[in-house]
Homo-oligomer: A and B are copies of this chain.
Amino acid sequence: MITVLRLGHRKNRDKRVTTHCGLVARALGASAFILSGDDDRSVIRSLEKVRRKWGGDFKIEYDANWSAFINNWKKNGGLVVHLTMYGIQLGRSLKELINFDGDMLVVIGAEKVPGSVYRLANYNIAISNQPHSEVAALAIFLDRLFGGKELENTFNNAMISIIPQEKGKRVQFNSYERFNQSVKPYHK
């Protein structure tokens, strides 16, 4: 089971990037997303809305005290992987991580990550040592960890799902009634 912890969220700047982090976590096989930094209900609501519509049991929570959260995680035998451009290249540790047989916490920061995170983490892992995006780092990390199988994940209780097309869009309404009652129609 993989949980993603998003550190240092700032309401004003990070709303969409943090939402993307949560969506990537859900779509690519993590079980939970913990938001830290600003307590931003709009991010949590967006993610809950996606879960309601697209299914699955993805857990979304806010926790102000990330440091206690990480310490607890380790106390319970969990592994902590911090994704950072300053870390060691993924390839060096990937096998160990794939073979790890417990709960993994994947920590991703916003602009500035406190030094203690580097010390608390069992692994500081770089998805390239170039500046890019925590959304991208998380995506590649999960893709490598699950060996690509996560791209075909299906989600229980989905109201709608996609039927892949070579051209255009095709959506299947699995539960149109329930869908109509709870969210706006996807296609106008």
Q: Which residues of B contact A167 (CB under 8 A)?
A: 118-119, 124
Interface 1/0 per residue, A20-39 and B, CB below 8 Å: 11011011100000000000
- Chain A residues within 8 Å of B, Cβ to Cβ: 13-14, 16-17, 20-21, 23-24, 26-28, 50, 54, 85-91, 115, 118-119, 124, 126-133, 135-140, 143-144, 148, 150-153, 155, 161-162, 164-170
Give min CB distance, A178 to chain B, whole Å. 18
With A17-B16, A88-B166, A164-B89 as known contacts, state yes or no: A153 contacts B128, CB within 8 Å: yes
Contact A129 B164 (CB under 8 A): yes
Contact with A132, one of B24, B86, B132, B165 (Cβ below 8 angstroms): B24
Contacts of A91 in B (CB 8 A): 148, 151
Q: Which residues does chain B contribute within 8 Å of A151, judged by CB atoms?
A: 89-91, 127-128, 140
Alpha-carbon distance between A111 and B130 when the two chains are bound, in angstroms: 27
Q: Which chain B residue has the least Cβ–Cβ distance from A92?
A: B164
Q: How far is the CB of A107 from chain B (nearest CB, A)?
A: 14
Cβ contacts under 8 Å, A150 to chain B: 128
Candidates B28, B118, B126, B170; contact of A128 at CB < 8 Å: B28
Among residues of B, the one whose C-beta sits closest to the C-beta of A113 is: B169
Q: Which residue of B lies closest to A120 (CB)?
A: B167
